[in-house]
Structure 1
Amino acid sequence: MGTTESAPLAVEDIRADFPILEREFDGTPLVYLDNAATSQTPDQVVDAIVEYYRTYNSNVHRGIHQLSQEASIAYEEAHDRVAEFIGAESREEIVFTKNTTESMNLVAYAWGLNELGPGDEVVLTEMEHHASLVTWQQVAKRTGATVKFVRVDDEGYLDMDHARELITDDTEMVSVVHISNTLGTINPVADLADLAHDHDAYMFVDGAQSVPTRPVDVGEIDADFLAFSGHKMCGPTGIGVLYGKEPILDAMQPYLYGGDMIRKVTFEESTWNELPWKFEAGTPNICQGIALAEAIDYLEDIGMDRVQAHEEQLAEYAYDRLSEFEDIEIYGPPGDDRGGLVAFNLDAVHAHDTSEILNEFAVAVRAGDHCTQPLHDKLGAPASARASFYIYNTREEVDKLVEALADARELFA
C-alpha cells in the first residue's frame, strides 16, 4: 500500500498548540508515543471547553432561556459537524456516546438482543479489541447465537479466503476493527461490507484507530455502523460516536431509558423521541460533544490526508529503525503497509519492564495486551510494548525511542 503522498506537516507549529509536550522529567523532554490510547488535546479544544463552562453552560433541549438555547444549538451543530466529517447523511445518523465501547454495546444490546437467536452468527476477527469481542461474545451467550472469528495470518493480515467461508446466509452481523490497535493492520472493510451485504448481514466498523488518523467516509466503505472516540483525535475524554444508517437506527429500540429520549409518557406507556435523541438518554456530554466538533475543525484545518501520511511515515520509519535489531520482535505487517503504530518486544524482557525503562528516559509507550488478549495468545506473547504516533510526533522522537531501547537492552543483558 505504501504511505500516502501529501505535503509534509508543519510539526513545530502544531506542537506549539500542545503545551503538555513541553513537559520535562528530571530535565528530559517528554516523548509521548501513546496516541493509540489517547491523543493530546490542543489549546483550541481546551479553549472551547472553557468557553462553554464560562459563557453558556446549561442543559440542552430542556429550557426556553437563552443559555439553554445556546447550548442546545451548539450541541446539535456538533452532531452536524460529525456527520459531515464522516460522510453521514444527517445528524439523525450520529449518536453521541461516551466512547467506542459504549457505541459497541449500544448496538449489541439494542439490536443484538432483539434480533439474534439460535442459528444466527456474528463474524469477528482474531484481532478485535475487547470492546467488540467481549460485547458480542456476551450477547451471543444470552441469545444463543454463535460468534466466529476470521483468522489472522502470520504476517498480521486477515485471511480473506477464510472470511468468505465464514460469512454465510446465517451471518447477521460482521464486526471488524478498521485498523488493529496491536498489529497496525489496515483491514479491507469495504470488501468485508460487500461480503456482509451479499448475505443480508450488517457491517459494523470499529473506527477507533482509523477515524482519528485518515479520511473515513461511511458511504464509501458502506458501513451500517461505525464507532469511534473523541479522545483519540485531539478531543476530550467522555465523548464517543455511533454512526448508524438511519433506517436501521429508526427500527432499533432504545438502549437506555429516561429523560430527553422520550416523546410522550403516561403511567401505562411511553413513546420515543426522534433520532438521534432517542439513544441519548439523560443529560448528555454536552461540553464534550461541542469540543469534539472543535477537534474535528482542528484536524480538518490540517487535512486528514496529511494526518494519514505523517503518521504512516513515522510508523514506517519506526519499523525500519526497530528492525535493525535482531533481538526485537515486531508484530504485524511490513512498515510500509500499516497504520501509525508499532507493537514490539525485546527478547526475554516483559513489555512492562521495557515500558518502565523507557519511562526513565521520558519516553511514554503503552505496555500490555492492548485489550487484545486472544490475539496476544495467538502471537505467543503475554504482552507487547506499543509506540503510536500522531500529528505532533517527529522522527527525532522515534530516534529517542530507539536510543532508550538500546539502554534498556544493556540493563537486561
Structure 2
Amino acid sequence: MTASSPSLLHRLKRTGLVTQIVIGLIAGIILAWLAPDLAKSTAFIGKVFVSALKAVAPILVFVLVMASIANHKHGQQTHIRPILFLYLLGTFAASVVAVVASTLFPSNLVLVSHDVAVTAPGGIGEVLQNLMLSVVDNPVSALMNANFIGILAWAIGMGIAIRHAGETTRAVLGDLSNGVTLIVRVVICFAPLGIFGLVASTLATSGFSALLGYLHLLTVLIGCMLFVALVMNPLIVFWKLRRNPYPLVFTCLRESGITAFFTRSSAANIPVNLELSKRLGLHEDTYSVSIPLGATINMAGAAITITVLSLAAVHTLGIVVDVPTAVLLSVVAAVCACGASGVAGGSLLLIPLACSLFGIPGEIAMQVVAVGFIIGVLQDSAETALNSSTDVLFTAAACLGEEEKRERMA
C-alpha cells in the first residue's frame, strides 16, 4: 500500500488539468448527492479559489499588458485589429441568433416581483458615460475594484511611457511580469479542488428544482449559446482560417470554457486564457492585450442573455416586434454586452436598457432581471463559458490567420 501511494500521486501530477477538473466535477456531484450537508460546507473551498483568481487577475492584467507594450520592439507584428473585428462581429452575430431564436420559440414569463437589489443604467448614453468614467478611473481604485477597462487604460498608457525608459527598467518590468505569471500558475493548479467545492455546494444548496418553472426560457438561452459556440463561431473561424475550425473550437471550449463555466466570471478566467494562449503558441504581445480586452468587450453570451430575456418580456406583454426594431435590438444588445461587467450576473443589469426600447417600464424590467437571477445557476455559467472561450478562440484565429497570410505572401 505504501509503495503504491507515490505512484498514484505521480500519476495524478501527470494528469492534465482538464482531466483533474473533470474528476473534481464528478466528485462534487457525488458528494452533493450522497451527503448534501457535508457538501454545503465545501462552499468555502470554492470561494477561496474564485477569490484567489479574482485577486490575481487585476494585477496580472496590469503588469502583463504594461510589460508587453513596454518591451515591444519596433517592427514586431501584432494582430489586435483583426481580433477586435472578430470580437465585435461575434457579439453582434450572437444577438442576431438570439433574436431569431426568440421569434421562433417565444417565451412567456410569470412576472412576479422579487427582492433583487440592483441598479440598472438608464440609457445608452449612461452606459457610454460609465465606460468613459471607467477609462479615467484612479489606477489604485481600478485595481481595488477590478475595473478592467481602467486597468487596461493605465496599463497601455504606462507601457507606452516605459517604452522610452532604459533597458534595465524594461528588464525589471519583464521579470515582474514573469513573477506574477508564476503566482497565477500556482493558483490555477488548485482549479480542480476549487471546482469540486463550487459544484458540491451549489448542487447541495440550490439543486435544479427552482429551474423547472423556467425550463423553456433556459432552453432557448442555452440553445442559442450552444448554436453560437458550435455553429456561428466555427463559421467565423473558418472564414478567417479557411480550414476545419473544430479542433481549435473544442480545445478552447474544453480548456477555457469548462473552468469559466464554474467560476462564472470572465475576469477570473483571464489567467486560464493567458495560459492556454501560451500553450497554443500564440503571439505573446498580442494575447497579453487581447485576452484582458476580450474579458471586457467580447460578450457574445451577454448579448444573448440581454436579447432573449428582453424579448421574453416583450412576448409576455403582447408587444409586436417588427424587423427594424429587431435589428436595432441586436445592435443595442451588442453595445450593451460590451459594457457588461465581467463578473457573475453582470449582463442582467443591462436588461432594463434593452427593455426600454419597447417602452417597458422599469418595474417590469427589474422583474425580468429577477428571473435572470433565478435561472442564473445555469444561464450565467453557460454565458461565461461562451464569452471566455471565445476570447481565446478569436485571438488564436486572428493570430494564425495573419501568420498564414504572411507566409503566403512570402
Greater strand share, 1 or 2?
1
- What TM-score do you get using the length of structure 2 for normalisation? 0.25
Greater helix share, 1 or 2?
2
